[in-house]
A and B are shown apart, each in its own frame.
Chain A
Amino acid sequence: MAVTDSLSRAATVLATVLLLSFGSVAASHIEVCTSRFWFNYRHVANTLSVYRSVKRLGIPDSHIVLMLADDMACNPRNPKPATVFSHKNMELNVYGDDVEVDYRSYEVTVENFLRVLTGRIPPSTPRSKRLLSDDRSNILIYMTGHGGNGFLKFQDSEEITNIELADAFEQMWQKRRYNELLFIIDTCQGASMYERFYSPNIMALASSQVGEDSLSHQPDPAIGVHLMDRYTFYVLEFLEEINPASQTNMNDLFQVCPKSLCVSTPGHRTDLFQRDPKNVLITDFFGSVRKVEITTETIKLQQDSEIMESSYKEDQMDEKLMEPLKYAEQLPVAQIIHQKPKLKDWHPPGGFILGLWALIIMVFFKTYGIKHMKFIF
């Protein structure tokens, strides 16, 4: 039943994207959820769980671009508002109070996603909505939602094709916006999305091969929807054991979620990647460790004479003796608080209402007969 449910949901396509970028000096992440509507709760939960793991491993929000296509936590159908659970029995609330969503709701479009990737953003965009990566950043891109053979659906209204994605990565490569890129996708037929990549230093993982569907993990009877997808669930179990100093490598990540657990066959692509996957640490992409050097030199500065210092202090004290600053009157708060409620003038009911009620009463008495009038008057 779970299988058929998710199959039918596979027909509607919503994508959640999570973009994260990491680097040997700085890492960045982009995480995108492209799915809309309440029954695609699990895509938002997928994205938020990956977001949480990544923050736990030390990536700051300034390096994460999180795009969620719909608001599940405050959805009117959510029986537990302000929460998004990723495990049944509501064990883990991945929404928390430090989630910073950069692109939300209708801002998650193919165009915005490609703009973030290629950097062709209007100049007024704030820093938190940009991918600030350079040629030494490792980038992790996590996408989830509904997909098909060669495309991923955004918001149930548009698609991104694998060719557009490959071209976007090529543009990133030409401008050296990444050092290495890890692309993880959890959708149906996810392997089709990485078939067309042609830029160097890209490693890709997908939850299912072409022709297979990715399935969801478990429904929650209290919330009424499926909470997570299988592949992401097992990836997260794997990530829970990673700490910033661990030495696990990519080959272990490829073994996550075999066919017996996932029903679909996860795939990966490493031919474009220069290093051997067994030498690539998980923390290269999922953790962020800055290079640090001890400062051993100082420069010699001349102490200014005491006179200048004391005169400066005098200036400061003079300032303190000035009048305290006041704000101008902005709102007549006192007046507003103590206002009496305004008496509205009474107007007789409008013609339409009168007519409507006349019609209703006429029909009533026509149907049931005039003798019922005596029960009213």
Chain B
Amino acid sequence: MAAAGAAATHLEVARGKRAALFFAAVAIVLGLPLWWKTTETYRASLPYSQISGLNALQLRLMVPVTVVFTRESVPLDDQEKLPFTVVHEREIPLKYKMKIKCRFQKAYRRALDHEEEALSSGSVQEAMLDEPQEQAEGSLTVYVISEHSSLLPQDMMSYIGPKRTAVVRGIMHREAFNIIGRRIVQVAQAMSLTEDVLAAALADHLPEDKWSAEKRRPLKSSLGYEITFSLLNPDPKSHDVYWDIEGAVRRYVQPFLNALGAAGNFSVDSQILYYAMLGVNPRFDSASSSYYLDMHSLPHVINPVESRLGSSAASLYPVLNFLLYVPELAHSPLYIQDKDGAPVATNAFHSPRWGGIMVYNVDSKTYNASVLPVRVEVDMVRVMEVFLAQLRLLFGIAQPQLPPKCLLSGPTSEGLMTWELDRLLWARSVENLATATTTLTSLAQLLGKISNIVIKDDVASEVYKAVAAVQKSAEELASGHLASAFVASQEAVTSSELAFFDPSLLHLLYFPDDQKFAIYIPLFLPMAVPILLSLVKIFLETRKSWRKPEKTD
């Protein structure tokens, strides 16, 4: 009986040991992985390798140029070789991680009859008007006329027209094609891409010492812009100001914005503010018996007035403010002086990325023999000339560096030449691609550094979309389709910003170590201690039982 009892306890002990081992096995094999899996932060898969590949992206910007040779522009045997294509490619030397190559693909051909006719008309402006076809964004057409043609003034070698066309003089020389090719590249560069255009676009990504006034001016690329025209009348008792802003916007601003339409959505508003003073007191100049504001006081003008403009209520797009200030009677006339002390012709100044202010002086003749308030009709043409010029400067549409002896066409009715829009689109596309790449790379870096950020599925899909859009935009740029490249680059920026700034990425999952211990110990310790102790006991007994046979042996 004692033996049976001993055998029974032995059985029980063995069963107990098995049970303890089984508990431990379940806890370690099943429990630990389950706990680990359920407490890790959810991260949908992201294309990390593609994102790091974007950094090494090689951008090739292709400008398709069609070169049309008229008769007698080049020697006959050269004319026999037409049509063929020449490619001119060079790398833009910028200190940026993305390599940018600029490629001019020149397709040479002979002129058609109607083109010959058009180019033999009296002046180059008429010749340009006869051009029928509208060209795709980013492409150019250059006409080569004979060396002695009277289409251009005698001393001018080339002419840049308003609608993506240019005229260059040919030459009768053995190396005609090479010489003309270089001239064409110079003209084409002025109309599309030069180093300073790209440097301005990438100004935010390049090291600081490259900054200059030119490069700090342009607005950042955005999906849309809000333009606000404000009339400030600080003295309604003296001036009853009337401005036909609706008409002016319809006649002058809207055509300009339509021409710029590819670059974003524009919305225009206007307002009139009464009793809005400038924050600065103008000084009196007895020599001209007028008041003036000198250059140093101009920066202090904007901030006091900005709070009253209501631009924060307008929209989420960047706002451009254009203010027309009619000075009060006590401070009339008011002129702005530049740093040399001379009054500025336009009487206006602008601030990069903010807008512009123009001072409109009331003609002193209107005061004669009138009862206050005098009615002031604002000359909208003068005002809009200045505002549109400021708008161009704020967008970064500046006069390009012309090749020597080049004639630039006169202004168009909209105030914008089509190739200026192209230059803007090239710059914007590159800027968008740079921004999107930086955003995606920063997101990948952040996820590596901070382990608590959750990436949901929709955020991951935005990242995939952004990567695909960047690659598509680069392809389109390489094949010369500027319009679709620009649209793709905008999509890339939108998707990458959506992914980076998604509210769900905000991690509040940081717990200091002592808090983590405080949460887990009451849960795990009561369970772990018996298991561990029983395991230790089992191990010690097993070791003892191994030693025992040795002893008896």
B is bound to A: yes
Bound CA span A303–B251, Å: 10
Q: Does A373 contact B (CB under 8 A)?
A: no
Bound CA span A126–B393, Å: 29
Chain B CB within 10 Å, residue with most, of A60, A114, A121, A292: A292
Q: Is the CB of B381 within 8 A of A175?
A: no
Bound CA span A215–B251, Å: 65
- Selected interface stretch from B58-66, B103-111, B129-137, B338-346: B338-346
Segment 337-359 of B: residues with Cβ below 8 Å from A? 338, 344-346, 348-354, 356, 358
Bound CA span A115–B501, Å: 9
Q: Give chain B's interface residues, CB within 8 Å of chain A.
A: 204, 213, 216-217, 220, 244, 247, 251-252, 295, 298-300, 302-304, 306-307, 311-313, 316, 336, 338, 344-346, 348-354, 356, 358, 381, 384-386, 388-390, 392-393, 410-411, 413, 415, 438-439, 442-443, 445-446, 449-450, 500-508, 510, 512
**What chain B residues lie within 8 Å of A135 (beta carbons)?**
204
Q: Is the CB of B220 within 8 A of A291?
A: no
6 A-B pairs with the lowest CB-CB distances in the bound complex, closest first: A174-B442, A298-B385, A295-B348, A127-B312, A292-B298, A60-B307
Interface size on A, residues (CB 8 A): 52
Write the nearest CB–CB distance from B259 to chain A, whole angstroms.
Answer: 12
Q: Is the CB of B503 within 8 A of A290?
A: no
**Cross-chain contact of B216 among A127, A291, A301, A312 (Cβ < 8 A):** A291
Q: Is the CB of A174 within 8 A of B445?
A: yes
Write the nearest CB–CB distance from B495 to chain A, whole angstroms.
Answer: 15
- Selected interface stretch from A163-171, A330-338, A342-350, A358-366: A163-171
Question: Knowing A171-B446, A174-B446, A290-B302 touch, does A121 contact B503 (C-beta < 8 A)?
Answer: yes
Bound CA span A302–B382, Å: 10
Segment 174-191 of A: residues with Cβ below 8 Å from B? 174-176
Identify 26 residue pairs between A and B in the complex whose beta-carbon atoms are under 8 Å apart, listed by A's number. A62-B307, A62-B311, A62-B312, A111-B506, A115-B506, A118-B501, A120-B501, A127-B313, A135-B204, A174-B445, A175-B442, A176-B204, A288-B303, A290-B303, A292-B298, A292-B349, A293-B352, A294-B348, A295-B349, A296-B344, A296-B346, A297-B346, A298-B389, A299-B392, A300-B385, A309-B247
Q: Does A134 contact B (CB under 8 A)?
A: yes
Bound CA span A167–B447, Å: 11
Bound CA span A171–B247, Å: 47
Q: Does A221 contact B (CB under 8 A)?
A: no
Question: Knowing A298-B346, A300-B385, A303-B381 touch, does A175 contact B439 (C-beta < 8 A)?
Answer: yes
Q: Is the CB of B503 within 8 A of A295?
A: no
Q: Does A277 contact B (CB under 8 A)?
A: no
Q: Is the CB of A114 within 8 A of B506?
A: yes
Q: Is the CB of A59 within 8 A of B303?
A: yes
Write the nearest CB–CB distance from B158 to chain A, whole angstroms.
Answer: 22
Bound CA span A176–B385, Å: 36
Bound CA span A127–B307, Å: 13
Other A-B pairs, 20, CB within 8 Å; known A111-B508, A298-B385: A58-B300, A111-B506, A114-B508, A115-B503, A120-B503, A126-B313, A127-B313, A164-B510, A167-B510, A171-B446, A290-B299, A290-B354, A292-B349, A294-B336, A294-B338, A295-B356, A298-B346, A299-B415, A301-B415, A304-B251
Q: Does A284 contact B (CB under 8 A)?
A: no
Write the nearest CB–CB distance from B8 to chain A, whole angstroms.
Answer: 59
Q: Is the CB of A295 within 8 A of B450?
A: no
Write the nearest CB–CB distance from B503 to chain A, whole angstroms.
Answer: 5
Segment 88-118 of A: residues with Cβ below 8 Å from B? 110-111, 114-115, 118
Q: Does A248 contact B (CB under 8 A)?
A: no
Write the nearest CB–CB distance from A128 to chain B, whole angstroms.
Answer: 5
**What chain B residues lie within 8 Å of A134 (beta carbons)?**
220
Bound CA span A244–B302, Å: 14
**What chain B residues lie within 8 Å of A7 (beta carbons)?**
none
**What chain B residues lie within 8 Å of A229 (beta carbons)?**
none
**Nearest opposing residue in chain A for B449, CB measure:** A170
**Nearest opposing residue in chain A for B247, CB measure:** A312
Q: Is the CB of B445 within 8 A of A301?
A: no
Q: Does A122 contact B (CB under 8 A)?
A: yes
Bound CA span A83–B346, Å: 47
Q: Does A225 contact B (CB under 8 A)?
A: no
Bound CA span A170–B442, Å: 10
**What chain A residues lie within 8 Å of B204 (beta carbons)?**
135, 176
**What chain B residues lie within 8 Å of A128 (beta carbons)?**
312
Q: Is the CB of B503 within 8 A of A170?
A: no
Q: Does A242 contact B (CB under 8 A)?
A: no
Question: Knowing A120-B506, A171-B446, A291-B352 touch, does A299 contact B303 (C-beta < 8 A)?
Answer: no
Q: Does A289 contact B (CB under 8 A)?
A: yes
Bound CA span A170–B411, Å: 48
Write the nearest CB–CB distance from A280 to chain B, whole angstroms.
Answer: 16
**What chain B residues lie within 8 Å of A219 (beta carbons)?**
none
**Nearest opposing residue in chain A for B411, CB measure:** A300
Q: Is the CB of A299 within 8 A of B512?
A: no
Q: Is the CB of A299 within 8 A of B385?
A: yes
**Nearest opposing residue in chain A for B450, CB measure:** A167
Q: Does A236 contact B (CB under 8 A)?
A: no
Q: Is the CB of A292 within 8 A of B351?
A: yes
Chain B CB within 10 Å, residue with most, of A120, A126, A135, A303: A120
**Cross-chain contact of A293 among B213, B445, B508 (Cβ < 8 A):** B213
Bound CA span A246–B303, Å: 18
Write the nearest CB–CB distance from A243 to chain B, whole angstroms.
Answer: 11
**What chain A residues lie within 8 Å of B389 (beta carbons)?**
295, 297-299
**What chain B residues lie within 8 Å of A235 (beta carbons)?**
none
Q: Does A210 contact B (CB under 8 A)?
A: no
Q: Does A119 contact B (CB under 8 A)?
A: yes
Q: Does A25 contact B (CB under 8 A)?
A: yes
**What chain B residues lie within 8 Å of A115 (beta carbons)?**
503, 506
Chain B CB within 10 Å, residue with most, of A60, A128, A244: A60
Bound CA span A115–B298, Å: 35
**What chain B residues lie within 8 Å of A312 (beta carbons)?**
244, 247
Bound CA span A301–B249, Å: 13
Q: Is the CB of A291 within 8 A of B503?
A: no
Write the nearest CB–CB distance from A122 to chain B, whole angstroms.
Answer: 5
Write the nearest CB–CB distance from A36 to chain B, whole angstroms.
Answer: 20
**What chain A residues lie within 8 Å of B336 (beta carbons)?**
294
